Copies of this chain bind each other. A is one copy, B any other.
Amino acid sequence: MINHARLAGLLENLDLAAVVAVSPENTHYLSSVFIRTQVSIRDRIACVIWPRSAPPTFLVCDIEESLARAEGTIEDVRTYVEFAQSPVGRLVEIVRDRGLSDRRLGVETRYLSVEQMADLRAALPQAEFVPLDDELAQVRAVKTAAEAARITAAYLATERIIREAWSRCGEGDTERTVANRMIETALARGAEGVRHLTLSSGENTVHPHMTPGHRVLAAGDTFLTDVGFFFDGFASDMARTGTVGRPSDEQRREYDAYRAAYVRLLQRIEPGMRASEVYRSCRDDLARAGYPLALPHVGHGLSRRGGHEAPILHPYNEMPLEPGMLLAIEPGFRPRPDRRYHLEDLVMVTASGAQVLTDWESTEAMLQLATA
């Protein structure tokens, strides 16, 4: 599921002999293997050496070798013994072995640690290292059809899960109870796990990333979730807002203003628009209704495992939108100091505009949880 044309173009345009990818998002992208311990145990590095005109090499800790061979797409898997061998030392050996030690190599200087880079420079004094973080993010940003289909499937399943779980929740439940019901529903519907689950009610809604706790839902509470589940190795990242029982007139007014701006934003996206323009159009739209934007961005691209990725829709990002980009759109809305609303849907930039891939009509009114 690699966008081979863009990757080859990048190597060619920057005249690189190889890409040396070390971050979880890039090794996952290039190898098709997600190595969990690469995230949880940072010293246990995994990397992909992707030469311009030869097959790639995948370097992993020997603990992960069987997984790399079972699930990966790279044939040349090499290993190091943790603690006995320096992972960077093994990487240097491979760079030499592949004839790249005096060549121009793309590296991730926003991921490589100070120590790792110092070791690389010392061992490969003839190599030229070129920062490549943004460029690799741009390769990943335009999805292949297979990637887009799997991410979309994860979103659609997540949407059903939220509605199904919430239909069985209401006044008297704790935030934790509702979160658990969402997880149980997700597992029953085939999810492999939870990427993230923010869920909050009432005044807790103002914290974007609070762990669901013991607050008891009361009639009239605003209620929201920002959640990602894994399906078939791909993650969703979706938000929905509701009320416990019927919304008050004020809640309805606030939500309607937010949702109207949200819909206009979804409908305004088109290729060629810059990320910064998407942000500004939403900010100005809400400002006309008398509300400030409550987040420094209004959405983002997403990786296979759900991280924020290019293009991030913030006011300083001049990256133009291209057909095939997937965007999670999520303007922040906090009309009062004690209440926040959150919607997040998936959009694909197309040749002529954009297509909302989630069932966003489900956001027409706030979802209503049961009252006693």
Interface residues of A (CB under 8 A from B): 35-37, 39-43, 62-64, 66-67, 70, 81-84, 109-117, 131, 176, 180, 183-184, 187-188, 192-194, 196-197, 206-212, 233, 295-297, 306-308, 312, 314-317
A347 CB to nearest chain B CB (Å):
20
Partner of A113, one of B39, B66, B113: B113
Partner of A37, one of B115, B209, B314: B209
User: Given A180-B187, A295-B63, are A70 and B207 neighbors across the interface (CB < 8 Å)?
Assistant: yes
Residues of B within 8 A of A109 (CB): 113-115
Bound CA span A42–B115, Å: 18
Bound CA span A40–B211, Å: 15
Bound CA span A239–B15, Å: 48
A305 CB to nearest chain B CB (Å):
9
A32 CB to nearest chain B CB (Å):
13
A312 engages B83 (CB within 8 Å): yes
User: Given A36-B196, A43-B110, are A316 and B64 neighbors across the interface (CB < 8 Å)?
Assistant: no
A35 engages B296 (CB within 8 Å): no
A52 CB to nearest chain B CB (Å):
23
Closest to A279 in B: B83
A276 CB to nearest chain B CB (Å):
10
User: Given A70-B207, A209-B35, A209-B37, are A111 and B314 neighbors across the interface (CB < 8 Å)?
Assistant: no
User: Given A83-B314, A297-B82, are A193 and B192 neighbors across the interface (CB < 8 Å)?
Assistant: no
User: Given A112-B114, A115-B110, are A67 and B210 neighbors across the interface (CB < 8 Å)?
Assistant: yes
B113 engages A112 (CB within 8 Å): yes
Residues of B within 8 A of A314 (CB): 82-83
